[in-house]
Amino acid sequence: DKADVNKAVFAATEAFRLGSPWRTMDASPRGELLNKLADLIERDSVLLASLETLDNGKPY
């Protein structure tokens, strides 16, 4: 709906205006964080799949 779109556009505009440490971070630390995230997702993949199943009702 139009109100949701307007809220999303406003939030994105504000986030861009305020900036983010992510934008100014060197590639190596960003890569380390992404690799850590990937490790955590792999570690908890069964739990995440179960939660997603509950969310949308499809078996994994």
pLDDT above 90 coverage of the chain, percent: 63
Round to whole Å and give the CA distance between 21 and 17.
12
Prediction pTM value: 0.62
φ/ψ bin of 19: left (φ > 0), alpha (ψ from -120 to 50), beta (otherwise):
left
User: Is the separation of the CB atoms in 22 and 30 below 8 Å?
Assistant: yes
**Per-residue pLDDT tens digits for 28-56:** 999 999 999 999 999 999 999 999 888 88
- Domain ranges, ordered by start, for the chain: 2-56
